[in-house]
């Protein structure tokens, strides 16, 4: 008799990313969907998630009780909000589950609690689960290391008009990569806001430019601009499924790891 497939729980099931994750899990032959979570009071709670998504019943009822659902799963994939993710991290650590986190907009207090949870379970967290974006971060780091401060660095990102955080988690991840390449702290050199008479750009700063509009899935450019030339590294996501596929790859990878906090660079085997 073959071993049962690893069970996956999707949080924020009704959201665009949640539904994409559910479809991706259902299409995969090495995992099974065993749970779907929504917030208390949501109109999906108590209903079959397949029917909620406009299709056939899947035999998986949407729940607002993660503790009960996590008991029967090995992995939770979580693209929700910072406070919710911290709560899921605590419960996932208790259940010794793999927790794949694509939530963005987290602050230091959220990250500290997730790091604490990672002492007891596998946490794979990334500002962007796309395999291409994570390859881009390595390229950005290498280019930043090769070029000196004669090259201004600007991270330019564009997303749909419903995104609530800015700069995006991906943009900050790329900024961190550029800062690492230059051997500095991003907090010491970041320039996130320009309005009015700002004065000349400070040498060595890493700037961020933000665009919000329409249904843009995600576009990220890192520009290295010097006198007489510019180098631009670019990634364009045209379909949200790239994030779901990356998250599922992280989930399967995490099943073979010991407790700790990892990122997609670890999943891709590109860590130094």
Catalytic residue selected from 120, 163, 180, 249 = 163
Helix, strand, coil distribution of the chain in percent, nearest 5: 35, 25, 40
CA–CA dist 272, 19 (Å, integer): 34
**Any catalytic annotation for residue 30?**
no
Which of 159, 160, 180, 220 is catalytic? The answer is 159
Can you give the length of the chain in residues?
A: 272
Neighbours of 181 (CB within 10 A): 20
- Whether the CB-CB separation of 22 and 245 falls below 8 Å is answered with no
Mark whether 159 is an active-site residue. yes
Write out the DSSP string of 118-169.
TTTSEEEE-S---HHHHHHHHHHHHHHHHS-TTSEEEEEEEE-TT---SS-H
Angle at 245 between CA 107 and CA 117, to 5 degrees: 35
Q: In sequence order, which ranges of the chain are alpha helices (DSSP H)?
A: 16-27, 49-52, 66-70, 82-95, 108-117, 131-146, 169-182, 186-189, 241-254, 264-267
Residue 68, beta-bridge partner list: none
Annotated catalytic residues are: 159, 163
């Amino acid at each position: 008799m073959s071993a049962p497939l690893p069970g996956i729980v999707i949080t924020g099931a009704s959201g665009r990313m949640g539904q994409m994750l559910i479809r991706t899990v259902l299409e995969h032959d090495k995992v099974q969907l065993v749970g779907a979570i929504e917030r208390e009071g949501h109109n999906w709670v108590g209903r079959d998630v397949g029917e909620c998504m406009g299709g056939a019943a899947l035999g998986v009822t949407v729940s607002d009780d993660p503790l009960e659902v996590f008991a029967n799963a090995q992995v939770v994939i979580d693209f929700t909000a910072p406070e919710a993710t911290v709560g899921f991290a605590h419960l996932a650590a208790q259940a010794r589950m793999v927790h794949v986190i694509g939530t963005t907009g987290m602050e230091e207090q959220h990250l500290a609690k997730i790091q604490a949870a990672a002492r007891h379970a596998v946490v794979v967290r990334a500002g962007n689960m796309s395999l291409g974006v994570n390859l881009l971060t390595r390229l950005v780091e290498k280019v930043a290391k090769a070029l000196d401060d004669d090259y201004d660095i600007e991270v330019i990102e564009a997303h749909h008009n419903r995104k609530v955080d800015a700069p995006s988690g991906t943009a900050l991840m790329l900024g961190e990569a550029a800062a690492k390449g230059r051997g500095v702290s991003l907090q010491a050199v970041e320039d996130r806001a320009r309005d009015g008479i700002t004065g000349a750009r400070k040498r060595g700063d890493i700037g961020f430019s933000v665009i919000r509009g329409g249904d843009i899935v995600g576009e990220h450019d890192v520009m290295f601009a010097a006198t007489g030339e510019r180098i631009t590294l670019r990634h364009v996501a045209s379909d949200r499924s790239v994030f779901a596929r990356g998250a599922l790859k992280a989930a399967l990878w995490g099943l073979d790891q010991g407790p700790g906090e990892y990122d997609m660079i670890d999943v891709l085997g590109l860590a130094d």
